[in-house]
Structure 1
Amino acid sequence: MQPETVQSIIATARDAWIEGNAEQFAELFTEDGEFVVPGQVWRGKSAIRDALADFARSGSEVDIAIQRIMVDGNQAVVEWHWRETNPQTGKQTTAEDAIVVDFRDGQISRWREYIDNKS
């Protein structure tokens, strides 16, 4: 895939998380796509949509800053900084994420996050 296309897809994914737009995030994936974070795996657009919708219901405010995107063919590695704020308590949680993304036919077939919330 062209790096510009990958960058656009990743930016759309970031925006979907910030806006809590589960439909937009899920539509980036193939029908059999996988979304993997430590300890959890969601398979298929419906499950991926539900994962983001469940998170969005928490009401947390999210800010994501993309640090870099490296593209190699149909794979990409993304580094981004995640900040989540609980609107009720004001408590902030931050994490540095490395995300390995596989693409097929212009969509995400696998999104695998490695999350560091200790640094």
Structure 2
Amino acid sequence: MTPAEIRDRIHQAAAACIAQDGQAFAALFHPHGELILPGSRIVGKEAIEQVTTKYLGTCENIKIQIQRVIVEGLQAVVEWLWLDEKKSGQFSYAENAIVVDFKAGLIVRWREYTDTKTQFCPLENIS
């Protein structure tokens, strides 16, 4: 994969989340890929689709602002801002650092580190 292809996959992942499409997000993963979030580890494309579909279904509106993508070989480090509004009316904001490993054009590992305390930029700047 080229750095441009890796960046494109990251943008596809963000677009799938914004569209609340767990199936499209999971389609970017290797069949035995893993998604590691604070407090949980999900293994396998089907499990990733189930978990992301369920979570994204709790949201009314998702906004993601990609701050940077650093590519080294078949790995990327992503920094993005996440804002979602829950169907309950509550908002969730997080600054995420994500380490992504690729193999044969697919994600084999997505590891997310989340900061929900520090606000790097005003929420209204997220588009």
Q: TM-score range by the shorter chain?
A: over 0.9
Separation of aligned partners in 2, 1:54 and 1:102: 24
Q: Does 1:114 align with 2:113?
A: yes
Structure 1 segments unaligned to the other structure (5+ residues): none
DSSP-derived class of the 1:60 partner: strand
Superposition RMSD on alpha carbons, in Å? 1.0
Q: Which runs of 4+ in 1 moved over 3 A?
A: none
| C-alpha distance in 2 between matches for 1:98 and 1:81 | 9
Q: Tell me which residue corresponds to 2:6.
A: 6
Structure 2 residue identity aligned to 1:114: Y
Distance, in Å, in 2 between the alignment partners of 1:65 and 1:59 is 17
Match of 1:35 in 2: 35
Contact 2:82 2:95 in 1 (8 A): yes
| Helix, strand or coil at the partner of 2:59 | coil
Q: In structure 1, what is the equivalent of residue 49 of structure 2?
A: 49
Cα distance in structure 2, aligned partners of 1:74 and 1:105? 9
Give the distance between the partners of 1:65 and 1:75, measured in 2 at CA: 20
Partners of 2:53 and 2:100 lie apart in 1 by 21
> Between the two proteins, what is the percent identity of the paired residues?
41
Length-normalised TM-score, structure 2: 0.89
Once the two structures are TM-superposed, the CA of residue 93 in structure 1 deviates from its matched residue by 1.6
What is the deviation of 1:86? 2.1
* Residues 68-83 of structure 1 aligned to structure 2 (within 5 Å): 68-83=68-83
The offset of 1:9, in angstroms, is 0.2
Q: TM-score scaled by structure 1?
A: 0.95
Partner Cα distance (2:87, 2:53) in 1: 17
Q: Which runs of 5+ in 2 are unaligned?
A: 119-127
Output the CA distance in 1 between the equivalents of 2:72 and 2:60. Answer: 33
Q: Distance in 2 between matches of 1:111 and 1:101?
A: 5
Q: Is the 2:25–2:49 Cα contact (8 Å) retained in structure 1?
A: yes
Partner of 1:23 in structure 2? 23
Corresponding residue of 2:61: 61
